[in-house]
Amino acid sequence: MSIRYGLLALLERGPMYGYQLRSAFEESIGATWPLNIGQVYTTLGRLVRDELVESLPEHEAGQRPYRITEAGRTELVGWFETAIGRIDRPRDELTIKLALALATPGIDVDRVVHTQRAASKRALQEFVRRKIRDTRADNVSGRLVLDAMIFQTEAEIRWLDHCAESIGGSDPRPGAEQP
Amino acid sequence: MSIRYGLLALLERGPMYGYQLRSAFEESIGATWPLNIGQVYTTLGRLVRDELVESLPEHEAGQRPYRITEAGRTELVGWFETAIGRIDRPRDELTIKLALALATPGIDVDRVVHTQRAASKRALQEFVRRKIRDTRADNVSGRLVLDAMIFQTEAEIRWLDHCAESIGGSDPRPGAEQP
DNA sequence: CGACACATGTAACACGTTACATGATTTG
DNA sequence: CAAATCATGTAACGTGTTACATGTGTCG
């Protein structure tokens, strides 16, 4: 429901049309998760269907703004007030992968862990680089999104190391690190 | 695609029927993400459609086992060999929520953060309790899944604190902790 | 004019989720 | 026998994703 509520939140700032919504979304969230323009319109259609948003008369150059309704505002406030639990989230594919790898014949769990660890480490460095580069001082939300990615990736690496220790009889190869 | 590949991995141990698959899945993954039995059959149908799995003749008591195909095996190995990137994952709803809350009029970001923090802290304690209780020594995968939840939730709490510091002019209320 | 970017929208499909219909087997 | 449990499967719907069709305005 990220996009659904995302668009709703953007419309709370004032009426906007499709392309503006995409720009505003990517401005706030950053380039981490690009938003397909088609997705904007399908989601807007569903929001109109549920009467959380209403479509305004077409502006001059074929631009049709959408406005949040009172019901939409209520829904949005509810979203902000309600905390998100881990179980509400989609199943984590990596966790499932490793849990199942343990009992899958012919799969070298150590290799799976180390491949993922290398990729996650690269991703982490890329996030850090991006944070230093494209984060302008005024864009707080963009920086926080990048920080979230960094925190999550660091946790993932720690968990992978924990897994390697838990399962691997083989040593965690201390020479493989680049500090 | 968690369930799709999950079932594929379970079938790599040998042919199984629907109910067995659900039991085996929840046995490995733990009670964290319950798997609806209907989901097993819809997913099996799609796996058969894509010829990654084949349906075997019905056993005595109306039990229909499914067997992984050669193509399925190839697909599965590819899954285990390929690392998962942060961007491959679904958009993180909490991250988006906070990023958008910052520029949404009438929303008290501090309150959003603190509500979420309290919920995450409770969730963390619940995970730790579960880890101590229901984890038998032989069930490694179940323990690793719980560890993943713990690592992720800890990272989430740290990120929330980081957010509070970044945005809140108000102090991070040092008395609100229960160590 | 022709190419390109802006802008809207629809159709088709993927996966995940739940509710429902149906039958077989066990058990009180 | 009746109720509960095991077991299979389908129908309907939700969101997310992409490809496509279409129109408009701008600029070389």
- Tell me what pLDDT residue B17 has: 93
The more confident residue out of B132 and A155 is: A155
Q: Which chain B residue lies closest to A154 (C-alpha atoms)?
A: B155
Q: With a CB-CB cutoff of 8 Å, which residues 21-80 of chain B face chain A? A: 28-29, 32-33, 76-77, 79-80
Q: Is the distance from CB of A153 to CB of A127 less than 8 angstroms? A: yes
Q: What is the pLDDT of residue B137?
A: 67
pLDDT band at A169 (very low <50, low <70, confident <90, very high): low
Confidence at residue B124, expressed as pLDDT on a 0 to 100 scale: 96
| Percent of chain B topping pLDDT 70 | 92
Residue A136: pLDDT over 80: no
**Low-confidence spans in chain B with pLDDT less than 50:** 171-179
Given a cut of 80, whether residue A43 has pLDDT beyond it is yes
pTM of the model: 0.90
| Angle, vertex CA B140, rays to CA B36 and CA B24, nearest 5 | 30
**Cβ(B101)–Cβ(B79) under 8 Å?**
no
Q: Has residue A44 got a pLDDT over 90?
A: yes
Q: Which of B166, B168, B164 is nearest to B113 (CA)?
A: B164
What is the pLDDT at residue B173? 47
Q: What is the mean pLDDT of residues A130-157?
A: 89
Mean pLDDT, range A72-101, rounded to an integer:
95
Task: Say what the pLDDT of residue A126 is.
Answer: 94
| Residue B26 neighbours by CB under 8 Å, 6+ apart | B34, B35
Closest CA to A91 of A80, A99, A102: A99
Task: Give strand C nucleotides closer than 7 A to any protein Cβ.
Answer: 6-12, 14-20, 23-25
Residue A31 pLDDT class (50, 70, 90 cuts): confident
- Measured between beta carbons, the chain A residues lying within 8 angstroms of B103 are 13, 28, 141
| A20: nt with nearest C1' to CA | C7
Q: Do B163 and A149 make contact, defined as CB atoms within 8 angstroms?
A: no
Q: Give dist(CA A56, CA A13) in Å, integer.
A: 16
Q: Which of A27-36, A115-124, A133-142, A159-168 has the highest mean pLDDT?
A: A115-124
pLDDT at A5 over 90: yes
Query: Which residue of A88, A107, A158 is in closest CB contact with B80?
Result: A107
